[in-house]
Copies of this chain bind each other. A is one copy, B any other.
């Protein structure tokens, strides 16, 4: 049973069915009928008019979002363990033409408004220093924690006060919303988020993530993003296959159902892991203390996962699992004591 990444998981059946349904002739790029429905589908989801588009990957989604918010000479405040900072080989720097990531520490890979304000105060307003222009947060975070609506709104206020754009990397947005039980707008548009990378692939998709633009500048930014998407090779020739996947995930809130399953599996494992947990478990990731011997023992029982430095491990659950399904690993963790 694999727990090393939600990327490792197969495509969920309704998404696969949607791909099959899209398998007929239509216009190329995003000129097809499926792509045309994205704005409407996401506006319905968020309860406000938004602009939405598919891109090929989460890295592209994040980077295009940041390119829309930050000029080449600007800075992007992000957590020092943010995916954009440590796992994208400098993609934000590529898409923004050299903007700087201004990284900050913070519990559970969360940015605190106070830390952000302090960082902003330290920037001299002259041309020698890099002016911050955007904040990027990940929800759920890289440690599986979830920003609440209030927490996002507090960062949204900082952004507003300083004229910064606010981006949310939502590779696991579904898991965050499933945990919170709130309206998806509560942690995005209503809380000041300008652009959301709405994750699909980790949550049951095959290829394609969505970029969602909120607020008064949504249209202008989406038009700009469309240029970046083309220019970066992300305007795929047969976009209908991507749009269809995304629409399938939105249909009947499949995205939430999938995330709830993964979260439930994570909670079951958390109960098994007990005091080994290094972070509270809120979404679908667990970080736990595990000796090399314990890890080897679990692997011998058929459970796969990533080591997380020395003496620790990362376990990721996914849409295809649930509490019952992961019971064997929960038990195995319990037995380790």
Contacts and interface: CB of A to CB of B under 8 A. Distances in A.
A235 interface: yes
B23 A7 contact: no
A96 to B, nearest CB: 8
Contacts of A96: 98
Contacts of A24: 10
Interface in A182-240: 201-202, 206-207, 226-238
A160 interface: no
Copies of this polypeptide in the complex = 4
Interface in A72-110: 72-73, 75, 86-91, 93-101
Contact of A73 (B27, B59, B60, B89): B89
Interface residues of A, number: 68
Interface stretch (A126-134, A162-170, A289-297, A323-331): A126-134
Interface string A167-178: 000000000000
A98 B94 contact: yes
Given A72-B97, A89-B227, A89-B230, 9 more contacts: A29-B128, A59-B230, A72-B90, A90-B130, A91-B232, A127-B229, A201-B238, A202-B237, A207-B242
A10 B202 CA distance: 25
B8 A89 contact: no
10 contacts: A5-B28, A8-B25, A57-B237, A73-B228, A87-B129, A89-B227, A89-B231, A90-B98, A91-B233, A93-B99
Interface string A1-31: 0101101111100001001100111111100
